[in-house]
Structure formats: structure tokens, C-alpha cells
Amino acid sequence: MERNPFTAEVVEAVCRHMNEDHAEDSVLIVRTLGGQAEATAAVMTGLDADGIEFSAEVAGRPVPVRIPFAERLTERAQVRAEVVRMYHEARARLGLPPRSG
């Protein structure tokens, strides 16, 4: 396994941002792309070049969820674009219109 291109500080910052500002988006991603349709909450716990990790609450229990990225990421700027792509894919799978703004 290759070394994670993202430092612990970057991972922590991305997790904090997702958990503080995009908690509902994380639940949507975990429900659709993570195969946990019954998830009621999701906390981002990590990421590496190949995927993003969450702890989802399913039936009152924490369930680890790993969702692979569409491609291997090597730079921090790619993380945002990939998470946005996941969010839009999740909305499309549910038949929801794109969110404006």
C-alpha cells in the first residue's frame, strides 16, 4: 500500500470541515454510495488517496463505511472536487434535483 499523500493535519482539517459544515451531505453520501440506506448520522473519520471513511450510525450502532474515490487523489484540491462529485452522484441516485447555491 502506498503512503497516504495527505498529512494528518490535512485529514483532520477535511474531517472537521465535513463534520461541522456538511453533516447532512455526509449522511446522504453514506446512505447512497456507502450502502447504508438506514444511516441516521455520519461522521467523516479519515481519507487517503483511494477513498473516504465515515462512522455511520445505523440502528443506533456505529458502522464503519469506506467509499472509494473515482480515481486516486494526490493533491488536497482534488479532495473537495471528489467529495462534491460524490454528493451530486448521491443526489442523482435518489432522483433529487441539484442543490442551488
Distance CA(91)–CA(100), nearest Å, equals 12
What is the average pLDDT across 77-99?
A: 92
Going by the DSSP 8-state scheme, the letter that residue 38 receives in this structure is T
Going by the DSSP 8-state scheme, the letter that residue 5 receives in this structure is S
- 26-51 pLDDT, tens digit per residue, is 999 999 999 999 999 999 999 999 99
1 has a pLDDT exceeding 70: no
pTM of this structure: 0.91
Distance CA(83)–CA(79), nearest Å, equals 6
Distance CA(13)–CA(18), nearest Å, equals 9
Q: 76-93 and 23-32 are packed helices; what angle lies between their axes, rounded to 10 degrees?
A: 60
- 4-26 pLDDT, tens digit per residue, is 899 999 999 999 999 999 999 99
